[in-house]
Amino acid sequence: MHELSLAQRIVEIVHESIGRHAPQTVRTISLEIGELANVHVDSLTFAFEALVEGTNLQTASLQITSVRVQVLCKSCGTFSTVDGVTFECPRCGSTTLDVRRGRELDITSIEIDDYTEVNHGNSDR
Ligand SMILES: [Zn+2]
């Protein structure tokens, strides 16, 4: 199950970043997932919540941003966004494309509440 191992990796990476027994409360873990990464967001969220239950990450929620597929046409050099189904250069119709974005599975940020820090409320975005 792809989503479960992915959720495990996310937990590992977060633990490496904040420390396994860190007192901080993790609020949000932001992820960028490419449309070609074949990740079911619901399954990933479910697996993650099951994994972190009862741990110091149980307050964390995943914020997942889907990344559009971007390709570079090898024939005409046009950089374009495609829908991930039709792999065709919108300019010249070539199907010889180099996928530049859309396969990523990245943690872009980890938002923590550090209770030594006074929150003056600029978290509204
Ligand atoms: Zn082209």
Indicate the pTM of the whole model. Answer: 0.77
Q: How far is the CA of 100 from the centre of ligand 1 (A)?
A: 14
- What pLDDT, on the 0 to 100 scale, is given for residue 115? 59
Q: How far is the CA of 87 from the centre of ligand 1 (A)?
A: 11
pLDDT tens sequence for the chain (125 residues): 589 999 999 999 998 888 766 667 899 999 999 999 989 999 999 999 999 999 889 999 999 999 999 999 999 999 999 987 788 999 999 999 999 999 999 999 999 886 544 445 555 54
- What pLDDT, on the 0 to 100 scale, is given for residue 41? 94
Domain ranges of the chain: 2-16+26-112
Q: How far is the CA of 32 from the centre of ligand 1 (A)?
A: 27
Pick from 111, 105, 113, 125: nearest CA to 31: 105
| Cα–Cα distance, 7 to 10 (Å, whole number) | 5
Assigned CATH for 2-16+26-112 = 3.30.2320.80
Q: How far is the CA of 92 from the centre of ligand 1 (A)?
A: 4
- What pLDDT, on the 0 to 100 scale, is given for residue 116? 47
Q: How far is the CA of 75 from the centre of ligand 1 (A)?
A: 5
- What pLDDT, on the 0 to 100 scale, is given for residue 5? 95
Pick from 100, 108, 101, 99: nearest CA to 32: 108
Q: Which helix (H) or strand (E) holds 5?
A: helix 2-18
Structure tokens at 67: 């990344």
Q: How far is the CA of 70 from the centre of ligand 1 (A)?
A: 13
Q: How far is the CA of 66 from the centre of ligand 1 (A)?
A: 24
- What pLDDT, on the 0 to 100 scale, is given for residue 56? 84
- What pLDDT, on the 0 to 100 scale, is given for residue 75? 97
Q: How far is the CA of 102 from the centre of ligand 1 (A)?
A: 18
| Four-residue CA torsion sign, 32, 38, 42, 47 | negative
Q: How far is the CA of 89 from the centre of ligand 1 (A)?
A: 5
- What pLDDT, on the 0 to 100 scale, is given for residue 113? 82
